[in-house]
Structure 1
């Protein structure tokens, strides 16, 4: 039987000392991580790690990813889930890597983690390893536009507020002014990380990776009282393991149940296997 490992990351806040006083308070991200860990347990994943809030540092996440890369062999599977704030920093690797000239980030407890950093860690996995990732966060540089498009009714339903100025406090988007402020403060650091890493398109991932994220790059992901809207919908569709289809059908069914203002995205990279995509989700 294939080996299986899962890593579940959920942050209800970040370290304000690292984010210029911003604590990034959210409600449901730790619950998301716990519930996805429970799903993994029920699906048969034996080696499971959950990193909550202060434990979810760049060092701890990289340690777990590198441990998995050393253990997993062709045919094995890694499940990675993240719930928290998302942001963006300018991409200095060039438009061939990110057409919008922005690199997406996940807001870990101690700093933003650039998507190129994650991709670099995934390069270490053996060819034939299956990687499945679910990201319940925003990666949006268009938060202002989203606020302008939403009706008061849609705002109330998705973000529990009718005040456009409050959406960033109930979505999983790092506030745009804070993104800019922190990038200006740490530009040298983030630019150096990107220079050290090659542009993503020039590297080849041997593993098969399927990513389902909470929304499109120009949308916002809603937090919630129990779970994030994306994670809640995912769990409903999964229905305790009763969902019968493959990953594309799983994504389509989640998408059908989400509001038009939050459309989950399916992305496949590396050396995608049609057999992997046809498998029932979370198959070991």
Structure 2
């Protein structure tokens, strides 16, 4: 259940620009730096409870799959009832064929760390299942195919049939096609196999996603489906791409379209907004700007109307 007061507000912020690669983006690090400032100034986050991982030149801790999962697991390990946990990811996403025999044509969602060690919807489900009672875990993922990034989370705001003329915009999609991921991993393993789990396990060993472990272990790790404290604000639907803007011609700062829309919504509305309102208003901003991507909301019914990261009592900070 959503708690009005929390002991700690903790955040992991990850921005991947993939510099000097064919998959390079430009606004992802800017996104999380801006979010860091918003978390401190508006939501009362203590910088000592925040961790920033980017692939900027000279970064001491790179946003590899293992490092991101280590940071997330550490945050969940420290969580106590009433704590507010937040994960903001800005970078590439991809879709992978389902590993479940009962859904051979389904595709599942994953984010793409800088080393291609995919973090999947099942990994996020495991994190949510480990939360202590009364804690909340909000994920804001500004990446392609991010709808449904918490496995089995209830859809509150889903696919939209409204389209805009995004062809008039110049942007880079935040997606790496599955074939490109497979080509990269195959070049590392030299294994002739179409099973991505085989390649990820060979390269990353125990740091690979739990999605590719034995089915029995998968069930033991995930447990049963139940209402929980996971909250996902996705940058787009599962079948859509999210935009990375690099307005260098006018000297503007690069940014992710969804992250920027959220910042605009928060700046315009100084009173607390619910998770549903943040997603709805961000959709309106993106539509007005001409983007053909539709942010979605996944959470239990109670958390749909709960305040986004809740606005703390300023007098107590």
Which bin holds the TM-score, normalised by the shorter protein?
0.7 to 0.9
- Equivalent-residue separation in structure 1 for 2:308 and 2:146 (angstroms): 30
- Equivalent-residue separation in structure 2 for 1:123 and 1:12 (angstroms): 30
| Match in the other structure for 1:102 | 107
Question: What is the CA distance between 1:182 and its match in structure 2?
Answer: 4.8
Question: What is the CA distance between 1:245 and its match in structure 2?
Answer: 2.7
2:297 to 257, 266, 269: 266
Question: What is the CA distance between 1:204 and its match in structure 2?
Answer: 4.0
- Equivalent-residue separation in structure 1 for 2:14 and 2:73 (angstroms): 15
| Match in the other structure for 1:155 | 167
- Comparing 172-181 with 112-121, which one deviates more in the overlay? 172-181
Note the residue ranges of structure 1 that are not aligned, 5 or more in a row: 17-21, 142-149, 161-169
Q: What CA deviation, in whole Å up to 9, does each residue of 1:17-76 have, x standing for no partner? A: xxxxx6521000011111111111111111111100261112211221222122211211
- Equivalent-residue separation in structure 1 for 2:245 and 2:221 (angstroms): 33
Question: What is the CA distance between 1:176 and its match in structure 2?
Answer: 4.6
Relative to structure 1, is the Cα distance of residues 177 and 156 closer, same or farther in structure 2, using a 3 angstrom cutoff?
Answer: farther
| Match in the other structure for 2:263 | 235
CA contact (8 A) 2:13 2:89 kept: yes
1:9 lines up with 2:14 in the alignment:
yes
2:52 to 50, 53, 59: 50
Of Structure 1 and Structure 2, which has the larger fraction of its residues in helix? 1
2:175 to 164, 173, 189: 173
Question: What is the CA distance between 1:120 and its match in structure 2?
Answer: 1.5
- Equivalent-residue separation in structure 1 for 2:73 and 2:15 (angstroms): 19
Question: What is the CA distance between 1:180 and its match in structure 2?
Answer: 4.7
Q: Secondary structure at the match of 1:245?
A: coil
Question: What is the CA distance between 1:123 and its match in structure 2?
Answer: 2.0
Task: State TM-score, norm by structure 2.
Answer: 0.70
Aligned residue pairs total 254
Relative to structure 1, is the Cα distance of residues 262 and 127 closer, same or farther in structure 2, using a 3 angstrom cutoff?
Answer: same
RMSD: 3.0
Relative to structure 1, is the Cα distance of residues 30 and 121 closer, same or farther in structure 2, using a 3 angstrom cutoff?
Answer: same
